[in-house]
Amino acid sequence: MSNAANLKPVFIPAQPVENPARRKMLVAATTGATAVGAGFLAVPFLKSWLPSERAKAVGAPVEVDITKLEAGAMLTVLWQGKVVYLLRRTDEMLATLPQVGGDLRDPESKESLQPEYAQNEWRSERKDVLVMLGICTHLGCAPKLQSRAEGREVRGDATWEGGFFCPCHGSKFD
């Protein structure tokens, strides 16, 4: 039989604190130093969540002067590494918009991700200016602006009213 079975725990009574003010000061100093250290560790960690200056520059709004953009002319700019088309629509282009409604999958933008200001007949804030990403939804090609005459002559499409045409696989965009 071992002596370990006969051992009983020994309780040592707590000693009264000799200097309670000193203990409070040490606890406060330790807590403060821990908080400052945690702050120094947290700041770089939290800053890493913020976008870098390069990312801010890439995602920043692009301002373009369209006052000199003539009717029927298109301007191409880069935004976030993507091509953006700015097209000044002619009166003829605006007149054809109601005619293509039947050819559109969602003519009233009911399933659209467009903002409210663009859920209208011309699908833009200003009816004479179209702003859109120049990326085909099929394979990411760059659609080309094609007039009514070009579409009817080059592709033999008698119903083509003009718009964007993807030469890679034939997608049409109003």
Q: Are residues 43 and 63 in the same domain?
A: no
Alpha-carbon gap, residue 27 to 47, rounded angstroms: 30
The answer, as to whether pTM is greater than 0.85, is: no
CB atoms within 10 A of CB 160: 21
158 neighbors 152 (Cβ within 8 angstroms)? yes
Alpha-carbon gap, residue 36 to 34, rounded angstroms: 6
CB atoms within 10 A of CB 111: 7
Domain that holds residue 22: 17-50
How many structural domains is the chain composed of?
A: 2
What average pLDDT is seen over the chain?
A: 82
DSSP bridge pairs for 84? 77, 133
Q: Which residues contact 53 (CB under 8 A, 6 or more apart)?
A: none
Of 174, 134, 128, nearest to 151 by C-alpha is: 174
129 neighbors 88 (Cβ within 8 angstroms)? yes
pLDDT in tens, the chain (174 residues): 556 667 788 777 777 778 888 989 999 999 999 999 999 999 999 998 998 888 777 777 888 999 999 998 999 998 888 899 999 998 888 887 777 666 667 776 677 777 888 877 778 888 899 888 888 877 888 888 887 777 666 666 677 777 788 888 777 776
The CATH number for 86's domain is 2.102.10.10
In a domain, residue 76? The reply is yes
